[in-house]
Amino acid sequence: MFDYLLITDEYYTDVYTYCGQLKLPNPIEINSSQVYIIFGTDDANHGKGFLLHYETIEKESLKPNSFYSCGLALQFNDDGFECNDIQMESRIIGGEISRPGQWPWMVSVRENDQFRCGASLISSQWLLTAAHCFPKNINLDNWTVHIGDSYLDWTDSEEILMNISSILTHPNYRLHKLYDYDYALIKIVSPIQYTSKRRPICILDTTLMNTNELDRCYVAGWGSSEDSPISNELRHLRIPLLNLTVCNQTEAYQGKLTETMICAGYIMGGKDSCQGDSGSPLMCQLHNTTDHAWYQIGIVSFGKSCAVPGTPGIYSNLTFANNWISSIIQS
């Protein structure tokens, strides 16, 4: 046996262990009113002990205030992935498994507890997703959302299930082309309380919606490939933004893409969002900023095939929805 120090909450939800070369993160955040600090020793040697500083944080109010920041998540290393992230084959084809809380605005939308689409938390009572996720005549009693979700088959420590009050699709949806204005807002029955693993993503101001302002971009979701089931684990993939003109020149799209769409992914194929990722956010960070905030710029909408050469994914462009979203939420 060796000496060790263990820090956790009363339910052992997050466990931090200091032993040998295994160092603790600084600071450690425990999302509980109780903290357990356990020291074990084999009495073999004599050390100087530990010096501990702690701080309590007031509960966040249901009412957002000027000190609250959106779009904050776990930090990444220089390769774009969270330190010590597990690399696994993904249903977001070519992507990586996400750690719980890594994308704290992620929401799974379910009908009769069966996964249907992804969504993103954009305020304490509103979610953003794709309009094509819902049938024309929908019974809201059969639909729920799981906010702060990571694994579909079990409840995460800070995941909450909410009923839906209303679903609003953009008034121009399907007015011109099948996936034009593929935006929908979900209102849940009551506001939620924010935590470090359950908080909204930022919506990028229209004036900054320029690819030159955007740094790395990711898509996350629980989607499938054509011959695989829905992924149980939330996964993410880094993808480049492509020129819409270039995508319109591919055999797959042949000029059918409109300005309300974003083309993103790999022309050569191999990596892509896929079926089941619909409604999930396309999110980016900004160049030359220090706040590390993530901004949603698009919504997974459609694609010809998954990860096939010449068929990058198509996303709804939030530039054409920002005013509509603001008017609905503020009213």
Q: What is the pLDDT of residue 65?
A: 39
Using one digit for the tens of pLDDT, what is the confidence trace for 130-183? 999 999 889 999 999 999 999 998 887 789 999 999 999 999 997 666 789 999
| Between 295 and 272, residue with greater pLDDT | 295
Q: What is the pLDDT of residue 75?
A: 53
The owner of tokens 């509960």 is 59
**292: pLDDT confidence band, cut at 50, 70 and 90?**
confident
| Between 4 and 13, residue with greater pLDDT | 4
Q: What is the pLDDT of residue 196?
A: 83
Q: Is the dihedral of CA 217, 222, 225, 226 positive or negative?
A: negative
Residue type, 241: L
Using one digit for the tens of pLDDT, what is the confidence trace for 301-312? 987 655 556 678
Give the whole-number percent of the chain exceeding pLDDT 90.
38
**Residues 6 or more apart from 150 whose CB is under 8 A from it?**
98, 99, 100, 101, 102, 106, 156, 159, 233, 234
Q: What are the chain's domains?
A: 1-57 (no CATH), 106-194+323-330 (2.40.10.10), 200-318 (2.40.10.10)
Task: Look at residue 100 and tell me whether its pLDDT is greater than 70.
Answer: yes
Q: Is the preceding peptide bond at 27 cis, omega within 30 degrees of 0?
A: yes
| Between 246 and 270, residue with greater pLDDT | 246
Q: What is the pLDDT of residue 308?
A: 59
Q: What is the pLDDT of residue 295?
A: 93
Average pLDDT, the chain: 79
| Between 42 and 313, residue with greater pLDDT | 313
Using one digit for the tens of pLDDT, what is the confidence trace for 197-238? 899 999 877 665 665 678 789 999 997 644 556 788 898 988
**Residues 6 or more apart from 114 whose CB is under 8 A from it?**
none
Using one digit for the tens of pLDDT, what is the confidence trace for 70-99? 888 755 443 333 322 223 233 355 568 888
Tell me which residues are annotated as active site.
132, 182, 278
| Between 124 and 70, residue with greater pLDDT | 124
Q: What is the pLDDT of residue 82?
A: 35
Q: What is the pLDDT of residue 66?
A: 37
- Per-residue three-class SS string for the chain: CCCEEEEECCCCCCEEEEECCECCCCCCCCCCCCCEEEEECCCCCCCCCCCCCCCCCCCCCCCCCCCCCCCCCCCCCCCCCCCCCCCCCCCCECCEECCCCCCCCEEEEEECCEEEEEEEECCCCEEEECHHHCCCCCCHHHEEEEECCCECCCCCCCCEEEEEEEEEECCCCCCCCCCCCCCEEEEECCCCCCECCECCCEECCHHHCCCCCEEEEEEEECCCCCCCCCCCECEEEECCEECHHHHHCCCCCCCCCCCCEEEECCCCCCCECCCCCCCCEEEEEECCCCCCCCEEEEEEEECCCCCCCCCCEEEEEHHHCHHHHHHHHHC
